[in-house]
Every structure is written in structure tokens, then in C-alpha cells.
Amino acid sequence: MDNNKIIRQMSSKELMRHVLITQGLLMVIALAVSSVFLDFREHWTAQWGFNIKDWVVYAIVPAILIVGFDGITMKTVPEQHYDDGGINRKLFEGLPVPAILLLTAVIAFSEEMLFRGVLQPLTGFVPASLLFAFVHFRYLSKPLLFTGVLTISFLFGFIYEQTQTLTYVVSAHFIVDFTLVLLLKSKSG
């Protein structure tokens, strides 16, 4: 049985539990790997800077472009090319907006913590970006979705390369996920 079929057979509660466990594991892996291979305290302290101009340039503008491109895609491309089999709908449809906000924040934080905050400094921009894309294995059977995730992964990797902080890439990731989930909810009812 393929992974997408297994995921589709889960209840929304089971799916939520698996998502939360996965995000927790990503954080634990990030902390464990960084404690062994990086100067833990110095590394994590350096990850959090903020400048309003950089936030606009490296978080807001990329997020708007990604969401805009996604919106155009949804309007112009047949749904079967970008539908993930209803998995995102199942995960988010019953959740109130505050829960969506919290879950998308956890997802953005944990994924970027591992892929940009740990793997990119250790393995480089290209390997970390490819790993991020391939971890989203359920998109492999959908070329449009996989190309989108791959492109976004390289964009997030580029943002990290330019800023050397997680602040902007986590912000961009969160804005994209939160906005797209709200659009998905509004579209489905």
C-alpha cells in the first residue's frame, strides 16, 4: 500500500497526531544534531535577528509571491494536478483559525529549524533544499506539487543564505502555510 493511501485512510485526529509527532521529531533531531556538530549555544543564539526592512524583503515579499503564484495556479490548472489527495483538507478543515495559526507556526518553525537551521549550515544550500523537498514525499507523484515544493525549498534556502537567520525564513514559511490553509478552507466551504 502506498504512503498516500495510508495517510488518506487515517482519521483527521490520527493525521493530526502524526503531524505533531513528526514536527516534534524534527525539532528533536535538529537539537540533537546541532548539539553534536555545531556550537549549540552560539549557533542557536545567532539564528534570531530582526530588522523590519529585511523582514519585508525576505519574508513578506516572498510569501506574497508564493501565495500569488499558488492562487494563479489554482485558478488556471486543473485540480487533479495540484490536489494532494485531500490530505491538507482533512488535516485542517475542522480546525478553528487559532488552531490553524498554531499548527502552521509549529510546522514552519520545526521544518526550518532542521532544514535551514541545522542541515543547511552542515551540508550546504543544495543538499538541504533537496532534502526538504524529498521529505515532502507525498508530492512526488504530483509533478506540479513537487516542483512547487522544490522551488519554495530553494527560495527558503536562498533566504537563509542571504540572512543567516531563521527569523525571515520561518516567517515566510508560516505566512505561506497559514494563508494557503485559509484559502483552502474558504474554497471548500
Range 61-73 average pLDDT: 97
pLDDT confidence of 3, banded at 50, 70, 90? low
Range 147-166 average pLDDT: 97
Q: Which residue has the cell 506574497?
A: 64
Looking at per-residue confidence, does 80 or 69 come out higher?
Answer: 69
3-class SS of residue 90: helix
Q: State the total domains in the chain.
A: 1
Distance separating alpha carbons of residues 84 and 79, to the nearest angstrom: 9
pLDDT confidence of 187, banded at 50, 70, 90? confident
Contact, 68 vs 175, CB < 8 A? no
Q: How many of the other CB atoms lie within 10 Å of CB of 75?
A: 7
Element (H, E) at 116: none
pLDDT confidence of 50, banded at 50, 70, 90? very high
Distance separating alpha carbons of residues 144 and 164, to the nearest angstrom: 29
What local confidence, expressed as pLDDT, does residue 2 receive? 63
Q: Which amino acid is at 24?
A: G
What is the span of the domain harbouring residue 87? 3-188
Distance separating alpha carbons of residues 146 and 168, to the nearest angstrom: 23
Q: Which residue has the cell 513578506?
A: 60
Range 33-46 average pLDDT: 97
pLDDT confidence of 21, banded at 50, 70, 90? very high
| All three cell numbers of 66 | 508564493
pTM of the model: 0.94
